[in-house]
Amino acid sequence: MTEQPTLTINGDPRQPRSWFVGIHKLPPDVIGSLVACPESDRLLQAMLRVRVIGPGVPEGAADDLPDVAGRYYILEDGVRFIPRFPFEPGVRFRATFEPRQIGLPQCRESLACEFSIPREIRGPRARVKQVFPTSDALPENLLRFYACFSEPMQRGWAEKHIMLLDAAGRPVPDVLYRPPLELWDRSMTCLTILLDPGRLKRGVGPNRALGPPLEEGRQYTLAIDSGMLDMSGRPLRTSFRKTFHVLAAVREGIAVEQWSIRLPRPKSRESLDLGFPRPMDWALLWHTVSVASEGGQPIEGHISIDQCERRWSFTPKSFWSPGSYCFCVESSLEDVCGNSLLGPFDRPLRSTGGRGCKTARWSRPLLIA
């Protein structure tokens, strides 16, 4: 008795990218004709098809949709379909084998197999770890928030699930900027939320028509709804609220001369602390301020930021050798309003151009002795 063809789904559960669909026990003459056929691609695509059937695909609709893109390989006793992109865990697929397409007389029945690759759900559900700036009193011309999540998140949900509420808990419209792309960091755990720059810049249309996004003296709440989804498609463990009241706008550049400096003792691993009269941008502080030896060589160490982003501390890996150092500040450092070392975010027009974008770093000598 002739062996009947079989349809299988194969792969390694530990490697979600490894799965494929196979047809086995095809007679040698069929394999031979497939190899010889100049249009074998078309034949193979008609013979072995893989389609998405759910979730969310209405009954019957799958027939009107394209097959899953993939490649066909002819083996000695069968054919293998490898998806162009790995089968997505959690999606339901149907593989069908139509023997009539290749004229198999002994096998009249088509074969079908429905399958899904198990979705691996790891770890706890995500939560909002922290929102920066951390202070509950923020200037009227605040430029941005950073929302930090405990797990990698999905993009595409921020506009729907992040909003600013007034003191009565009502959403305040047109306050948060809708960037052309959601501004996540590469790990998809930190989202930048800009307030509408058009409303921040005095004299611009939205500012004239709608006023600044925040108003001094009022109270607001940044609300992050649990509908934000993590990588596994799970909502947040809980919604997040950050309530703050609004102080006067800050419209002046960062003056490094006004920073306080606490020097460590030599031969210790005490931290070098910089104190700022007003909060700096949390994300930029991590990589725009550094400590170097007198010769300009960066010193290895650990940064910490606290006191509502008003203190930057640097703890070296090795003991401080007595001697000269400097701390360096990149011109790209901004405070929470976008004011930088070069001037205010929103400033009078200079009479002529001439500023380079690679502006020199600001640096100040330190003596640890």
Q: Which of residues 224-263 bind other proteins (CB under 8 A)?
A: 229-231
When asked if residue 275 is in the footprint of other proteins (CB under 8 A), the reply is no
Q: Scan residues 75-114 and list those touching other proteins (CB under 8 A).
A: 75-77, 80, 82-88, 91-93, 95, 111-114
Binders in 299-338 for other proteins, by CB under 8 A: 299-303, 332, 334, 338
CA end-to-end span of the chain: 94
State in angstroms the smallest separation of the CB of 15 from other proteins: 7
- Rounded distance between C-alpha atoms, residue 138 and residue 247, angstroms: 6
Q: By CB under 8 A, which span of 18-26, 160-168, 258-266, 270-278 interacts with other proteins?
A: 18-26
Tokens of 30: 């069929």
Instruction: Out of 172, 247, 263, 284, point to the residue binding other proteins (CB under 8 A).
Output: 284
Q: Are 16 and 61 in contact (CB under 8 A)?
A: no
346 contributes a contact to other proteins by CB under 8 A: yes
Binding characters for other proteins, 23-52, by CB under 8 A (x = yes): -x------x--xx----xx--------xxx
**Exposure b/e, 251-266, CB count within 10 A at least 16 = b:** bebbebeebeeeebee
Q: Which of 27, 33, 54, 235 binds other proteins (CB under 8 A)?
A: 54
| Residues 155-174 contacting other proteins, CB under 8 A | 155-156, 174
Burial of 320 (0-12, 13-18, 19+ CB in 10 A): buried
SS (H, E, C) 254-311: CCHHHCEEECCCCCCCCCEEEECCCCECHHHHHHHEEEEECCCCECCEEEEEECCCCE
Q: What whole-number distance in Å separates Cα of residue 48 and Cα of residue 22?
A: 9
| Binding of other proteins by 266 (CB under 8 A) | no
The pair of structure tokens assigned to 65 is 């949709």
For other proteins, the closer CB: 91 or 245: 91
The interface region with other proteins, picked from 200-208, 219-227, 237-245, 257-265 by CB under 8 A, is 200-208
What φ, ψ does residue 258 adopt, rounded to 5°? -85, 0
Q: Applying CB under 8 A, which of residues 1, 354, 360, 365 lies at the interface with other proteins?
A: 354
Nearer CB in complex with other proteins: 109/216 = 109
Which of residues 108, 122, 170, 350 is near other proteins by CB under 8 A? 350
User: Contact between 358 and other proteins (CB under 8 A)?
Assistant: yes
Smallest Cα–Cα separation from 291: which of 341, 359, 360, 364?
364
Burial zone of 120 (CB within 10 Å; 0-12 exposed, 13-18 middle, 19+ buried): exposed
Q: Please count the residues of this chain forming the interface with other proteins, following the rule CB under 8 A.
A: 128
Compute the distance between CA of residue 329 and CA of residue 343 in angstroms, rounded to an integer.
14
Binding status of residue 295 toward other proteins by CB under 8 A:
no
Alpha carbon 123 to its chain's center: 18
Q: Which amino acid is present at 208?
A: R
Closer by beta carbon to other proteins, 166 or else 330: 330
Q: Which of 98, 125, 165, 183 binds other proteins (CB under 8 A)?
A: 183
x-or-dash string of contact with other proteins, 112-151, rule CB under 8 A: xxxxxxx------------------------xx-x-x---
